[in-house]
């Protein structure tokens, strides 16, 4: 059986542990309040103007990156001689690369239209209706899906051209068409950058249609 002195010691230890837990809880709450105060110190990031500016910037970035991706792919051609035979490498010889160009062209065009509409509505102050906001979101989501499809198709063919497939007996062509492969890599890099910007744009477009209309 435990003595009265042991019981008192256990109570003292329990009280000490409870005080430490209360202090830790208070510290966590104070830290949370401090972070909240820092966030509230910059109210601009919560205003519709910030979201409008972010959407305009992302749409402009998407237009530039998709255009550059399309441009580099369109100009990626090279001629070389293999075993005395003149051979050409062009994007148009691959259906996957052609789809990649079409996807970037469509994304560039429709995001550009949405950019113009966004600027017009920004100057007017708001989007006319909530349906208009949904159309912006739908446009961004569809272009994102198309861009991902184009990137996936071009990446698959690009990886095959870069490394080949030893199981099927397909060799790499980048050793013969270095310039062609380099431009394809640059084109893919711009296209993946547009995927990132469109993903962020789609997320923002889906948030609070009424408070942040476009």
pLDDT of the residue at 14: 60
Angle between helices 48-74 and 130-163 (to 10 degrees): 30
- Specify which residues 85 forms β-bridges with: 82
3-class state of residue 16 by DSSP: helix
Closest to 137 measured CA to CA, from 85, 184, 182, 203: 203
CA atoms within 13 A on the CB side of 52: 21
Residues 34-90 have pLDDT tens digits of 655 554 444 444 556 677 778 888 999 999 999 999 999 998 877 776 666 777 778
């Amino acid at each position: 059986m435990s003595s009265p002195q042991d019981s008192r010691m256990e109570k003292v230890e329990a009280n000490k542990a409870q005080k430490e837990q209360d202090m830790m809880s208070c510290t966590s709450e104070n830290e949370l309040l401090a972070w909240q105060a820092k966030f509230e110190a910059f109210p601009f990031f919560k205003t519709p103007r910030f979201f409008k500016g972010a959407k305009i910037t992302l749409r402009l970035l998407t237009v530039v990156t998709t255009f550059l991706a399309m441009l580099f792919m369109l100009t990626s051609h090279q001629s070389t001689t293999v075993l005395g035979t003149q051979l050409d490498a062009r994007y148009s010889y691959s259906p996957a690369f052609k789809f990649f160009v079409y996807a970037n062209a469509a994304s560039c065009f429709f995001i550009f239209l949405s950019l113009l509409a966004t600027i017009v509505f920004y100057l007017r102050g708001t989007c006319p209706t909530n349906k208009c906001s949904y159309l912006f979101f739908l446009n961004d989501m569809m272009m994102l899906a198309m861009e991902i499809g184009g990137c996936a198709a071009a990446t698959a063919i690009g990886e095959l051209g870069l490394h080949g497939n030893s199981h099927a007996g397909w060799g790499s062509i980048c050793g013969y068409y270095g310039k062609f492969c380099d431009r394809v890599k640059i084109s893919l890099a711009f296209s993946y950058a547009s995927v990132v910007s469109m993903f962020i744009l789609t997320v923002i477009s889906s948030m609070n249609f009424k408070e942040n209309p476009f």
